[in-house]
A and B are shown apart, each in its own frame.
Chain A
Amino acid sequence: DTGVSQNPRHKITKRGQNVTFRCDPISEHNRLYWYRQTLGQGPEFLTYFQNEAQLEKSRLLSDRFSAERPKGSFSTLEIQRTEQGDSAMYLCASSERDRNIQYFGAGTRLSVL
């Protein structure tokens, strides 16, 4: 399968713990996006990378959230000191630079207890 891959698929953690998610984009795509989706809502933009550069961050991305894409390939999203309000589906998408078509992964569902 050459689509966008996200790991883990599910993560259950206790409040206050740190969690890290990984996204592997489609190999020739140099743009990578993170979104968050809660029940009854559409995906909401968090941040995006072009190659290794993080070009934009949403105001939804608090100081507890950090994302990296160190070699312009896979990306990680870390949430520190998780809160119950962080419970959501975290989606990753990728696209080619000159085409605004984003392809989504299956997501990582985070449950904070």
Chain B
Amino acid sequence: AQSVSQHNHHVILSEAASLELGCNYSYGGTVNLFWYVQYPGQHLQLLLKYFSGDPLVKGIKGFEAEFIKSKFSFNLRKPSVQWSDTAEYFCAVYQAGTALIFGKGTTLSVSS
């Protein structure tokens, strides 16, 4: 069965620091990849997605992610985080014929 691993449970950064959150999935076939974000008290929102083509995808609020097929990875990055990026981040994989499979999430805390 498909599984998604997020390596960091809780990340604490200062403003302006760079961010990289790891995500690995287990299925070797065609997948669609997503990062969702959940700000405190809000619902899950789509941050960015990869379906095909350029493996470097850009999302909202300066986030980007790189799909590396050989490593089954889809890591999220941001060059300079802001206090407002404090949230929980979920990596998810969609495999044809199933629903989204989510990782356990990474809590990002940014101090000003």
Contacts and interface: CB of A to CB of B under 8 A. Distances in A.
A45 B49 contact: no
A45 B101 contact: yes
B44 A91 contact: yes
A42 B32 contact: no
A100 interface: yes
B102 A100 contact: no
A100 B32 contact: yes
A107 B34 CA distance: 20
A25 interface: no
Nearest to A37: B102
B104 A42 contact: yes
A105 B43 contact: yes
Interface in B20-72: 32, 34, 36, 42-46, 49, 51
User: What band does the interface of chain A fall in when counting residues whose beta carbon is under 8 Å from B?
Assistant: 20 to 34
Contacts of A74: none
A48 interface: yes
Contacts of A91: 44
Given A42-B103, A43-B102, A104 B43 contact: yes
A29 B92 CA distance: 20
A42 B92 contact: yes
B61 to A, nearest CB: 17
B98 A45 contact: yes
A42 B102 contact: yes
A41 B104 contact: yes
B99 A48 contact: yes
19 contacts: A3-B43, A33-B99, A35-B100, A41-B104, A41-B105, A42-B4, A42-B92, A42-B102, A43-B90, A45-B98, A45-B101, A56-B98, A93-B100, A100-B32, A100-B51, A101-B34, A101-B46, A104-B36, A104-B43
Interface of A: 3-4, 33, 35, 40-45, 48, 56, 91, 93, 100-107
Given A42-B4, A100-B51, A104-B43, 11 more contacts: A35-B100, A42-B92, A42-B102, A42-B103, A42-B104, A42-B105, A93-B44, A93-B100, A101-B34, A105-B43, A106-B42
